[in-house]
A and B are shown apart, each in its own frame.
Chain A
């Protein structure tokens, strides 16, 4: 058929235009497109502790917006002082992660937002309780109706606006990003750290735009670590032996701000974290110079405060 030939020719052309190989690391964009009203409402809800069972825990309780989108506690504290088991990951740049949570059980931000809301250890809200609360507040009710039209607001709308808010939580213009864009030179220490980052193999897992957050990897690939069944690794989801101690690689952006480190917060400092990763995952011991260089490099990954938080 002549038409079929034409179409085939067309997609062959497209194929010829296939994108060339990308660099292992990429700078963040200045901004992602997001819905202004939704993001603003999402911000309001993000900081609202009434969305928890005891009325004291908001999203922001564990994802501090002035501390790299995470918290300084080893593991999070939920409603009624319930202790969590995982260290809170940063909400900044989370939109660039290929999955959400340490074990990647949420496909996107919207799905992720439900997790803490329903989790017994975190906010512990039922869907009914959430909807009852949202619709009882005239401000929320009006704001949701302004966005979605008539009708009561539901959990879907709630997670939608929170996800939209998180799209606005990106931290561009880190020194390293500016270096990648050719705007500045790195310092000698940073440069040395960057080279080490690549040569010792950090970059095999921490790559892409988020410098991580795009694959599952083992903690203890070379020197295995003890497996804790209560930790949220992939094994918790799949039960496969293969998935024990297999986690989503966290992003290293703003890593200097988000101590403590690792899924259970076991590393209190960057140095500790680097030592752990070097020994268990890369099978060597960092010497102090190397560690200092890497810390310098990791510090260059700290970006600007998201604009939505600084705007009046």
Chain B
């Protein structure tokens, strides 16, 4: 899974869990609040209905009682019931049963109200008559003087029965009452008994009220009691509690879901953390090993150049770098094998550690294949001189033996105190290669940096010259000692700067070699010289290096020219530098055979300057040998050279070398001497300096400049 996806997943989970949490919380809050308020309302309704029933009892019991309270209580019950019906919490499906019961309850309350209103009517009537029946006897007592006792007894009976019936709500007494009423109606009153007659009429009217209304009064009272509104409310409450519990259970399930999701999220986070921690550990280990590999040399255990450069990123003043170069390391490596080379390096490192490892202000590095560095921090007092002496002493005393062979270790030491230390020390080391001393201290005034500048300038010039066709062949005449004529020219590569000034060949050739532009120069020379000599009869020499021979670009150009212009090619002599090492002998030999087929000749240049391997020379099958300046320059003064020359010429003749040319013929005496010795050709400033044009003429002695 991608990292982003993990993040999205985590966010989604967090949102889901959060949402679930708030939903559950919200639901719980609502449930609790609704639950409390609904139960409260139901309880309040029960209380109000209880109060209503008490009002009814009071109304029935007391002779007079206000009816306002009943209406107020009924209105209160109705308002609560309607409020519950309309409450949002009861609209949920789970509470449909409760709503149904509330509907039933409201219908029951409506019914109850109707009955109560009937009750109120009958109650007033019955109670009034109940009070009036004894009151009438009192009111009309004065009229009872002449009434017989039987009538009075009947009135008393009715009074008693009415009281019992009214108070007992028992209509069983009505038959007795009715009988009494009939009897009372049967009594007749004469004129003198007008008040008694009036009493009788009033009394009968009131007694009739009981016969008329008491059964209904009793029935209505029972109907009111029979209305099961209280039970309905109880049932509604029970249902509500059950539904609430179901809802609570649902919320609890959500809660479980929430907990599960939470645990899962935590688990996931822990998993990611553990996973990341493990990865982090692996990465950290990898990082450490990389760092070790980068900063510590595997072979010697010393710090690497990388570590050195990293340490040098912060510039610290007062430091010195002692660079010890094993001069003959490559030769030891080649000669004794890599095991010896590695052994030498290990030995040097061990020796360095033994000698300098304990000094707290010194650090040891392996800075290159065969370079060790000692970094000295904090140059106080004579510390620099002390360390320098120690390092020099160490290098001189370095001994190494391989399989009981004592191998001499040649070292050179470069010291730099100027940042960047390594670069400056490197410059100093190159100085050593030039000067062949053993110890060089970097100095700004030594022009080491100027040399680098010069090189870069030269490289620019060279590139410019190639681009702008300012690479030109110069021609130096070669004199045929036998004919006294200039018959050949050595073509030398010269470069003009932008102002047309000639660049010193020693400078740019070295740069060209370093920058691998040498082959390019050779190609230009080949093309231009072929062009120049095409329409002459003159022979010409062109220098070609072993590297050129191995450069397919150069050989391609050469072969193409030879093929295209065989007549010109026949007059070409290629000069190979004798001093250059012929690493790939077969390739060189093949090249020689190849060009010889076109009639080209081959010369060995600067013979006697380097390590002359005669056997190799002979095998190369050259036509021409050019004797180095070191053999020719002092030949007049030095009889040994003359002897050497004589012997060489004899040997060359013996191995069938066709022609020998003496270089550096700088005076008439030298020319005379080489002529006398039998050297075939002579070349040098005395014969002619290199010039951009050709002369074809007999040699008249040193030309006027």
Name A's B-contacting residues (CB within 8 A). 1, 3-4, 6-8, 10-12, 14-15, 18-19, 21-26, 98, 198-201, 203-205, 207-210, 214-218, 221-223, 242, 246, 281-285
Contacts and interface: CB of A to CB of B under 8 A. Distances in A.
26 contacts: A7-B43, A11-B40, A11-B44, A14-B43, A15-B46, A19-B69, A22-B66, A24-B65, A25-B66, A26-B68, A98-B68, A98-B71, A201-B124, A204-B64, A207-B67, A214-B68, A215-B67, A215-B117, A217-B120, A282-B128, A282-B132, A283-B129, A283-B209, A284-B139, A284-B202, A285-B198
Contacts of B135: 199-200, 284
Nearest to B140: A284
Given A215-B124, A218-B121, A223-B205, 13 more contacts: A1-B241, A3-B35, A3-B39, A6-B36, A14-B43, A18-B50, A199-B135, A205-B124, A209-B68, A214-B67, A222-B205, A283-B128, A283-B129
A204 to B, nearest CB: 4
B128 A19 contact: no
A201 B64 contact: yes
A192 to B, nearest CB: 16
A201 B131 contact: yes
Contact of B67 (A21, A208, A246): A208
A62 B70 CA distance: 31
A207 B65 contact: yes
Interface string B30-71: 001001100110011011001100100010001111111111
- Among B50, B121, B198, B216, which residue has the most Cβ atoms of chain A within 10 A? B121
A19 B51 contact: yes
B205 A283 contact: yes
B112 interface: no
A222 B206 contact: yes
A221 B139 contact: no
B245 interface: yes
Contacts of B69: 19, 22
A218 B126 CA distance: 12
Contacts of B65: 21, 24, 207
A255 B129 CA distance: 25
Nearest 5 pairs between A and B by C-beta? A11-B43, A208-B68, A7-B39, A201-B128, A215-B120
B127 interface: yes
B111 interface: no
Contacts of B64: 24, 198, 201, 203-204, 207
A19 B76 CA distance: 14
Contacts of B44: 11, 14
Interface string B101-119: 0000000000000000110
Interface of B: 32, 35-36, 39-40, 43-44, 46-47, 50-51, 54, 58, 62-71, 117-118, 120-121, 123-125, 127-129, 131-132, 135-136, 139, 198, 202, 205-206, 208-209, 216, 241, 244-245
Nearest to B124: A204
A23 B62 CA distance: 11
Contacts of A215: 67, 117, 120-121, 124
Per DSSP, chain B at the interface is: helix
Nearest to A205: B124
Contacts of B32: 3
Contacts of B43: 7-8, 10-12, 14
Contacts of A199: 131, 135
B120 A216 contact: yes
A284 B201 CA distance: 10
A22 B325 CA distance: 124
Contacts of B125: 217-218, 221-222
A273 B67 CA distance: 23
A278 B427 CA distance: 144
A25 B336 CA distance: 137
B209 A24 contact: no
A118 B475 CA distance: 141
Contacts of A23: 66
- Among B125, B129, B135, B139, which residue has the most Cβ atoms of chain A within 10 A? B125
Nearest to B116: A215
A203 B124 CA distance: 9
B66 A214 contact: yes
A217 B126 CA distance: 12
B118 A242 contact: yes
B127 A201 contact: yes
Contacts of B51: 18-19
B39 A284 contact: no
A223 B207 CA distance: 11
Contacts of B63: 201, 204
A18 B46 CA distance: 12
Contacts of B241: 1, 4
A10 B43 CA distance: 8
- Among A26, A201, A209, which residue has the most Cβ atoms of chain B within 10 A? A201
Given A23-B66, A204-B128, A283-B209, A18 B40 contact: no
A8 B35 CA distance: 12
A11 B202 contact: no
B211 to A, nearest CB: 12
A11 B41 CA distance: 9
A246 to B, nearest CB: 6
A282 B64 CA distance: 14
A70 to B, nearest CB: 22
Contacts of B198: 285
A1 B47 CA distance: 21
B54 A18 contact: yes
Contact of A21 (B35, B58, B118): B58
B128 A10 contact: no
Contact of B128 (A4, A8, A24, A281): A281
Contacts of A98: 67-68, 71
Contacts of A209: 66, 68
Nearest to A287: B139
A23 B58 CA distance: 12
A15 B68 contact: no
Contacts of B50: 15, 18
Given A201-B132, A282-B128, A10 B40 contact: yes
A3 to B, nearest CB: 6
B47 A14 contact: yes
Contact of A222 (B67, B117, B123, B209): B209
Contacts of A210: 68
Nearest to B117: A216
B124 A217 contact: yes
A81 B206 CA distance: 43
Contacts of A205: 124
A201 B51 CA distance: 25
Contacts of B58: 21
Contacts of B202: 283-285
Given A11-B40, A215-B67, A283 B206 contact: yes
A221 B68 contact: no
Contacts of A218: 121, 125
B321 to A, nearest CB: 85
A107 to B, nearest CB: 10
A16 to B, nearest CB: 9
Given A204-B127, A221-B128, A283-B129, A22 B68 contact: yes
A25 B206 CA distance: 26
Nearest to A281: B128
B39 A8 contact: yes
A97 B658 CA distance: 157
A285 B201 CA distance: 12
B28 to A, nearest CB: 12
Contacts of A242: 118, 216
Contacts of A223: 205
B236 to A, nearest CB: 14
Nearest to A204: B124
A101 to B, nearest CB: 15
A220 B349 CA distance: 139
- Among B36, B50, B136, which residue has the most Cβ atoms of chain A within 10 A? B36
B155 to A, nearest CB: 15
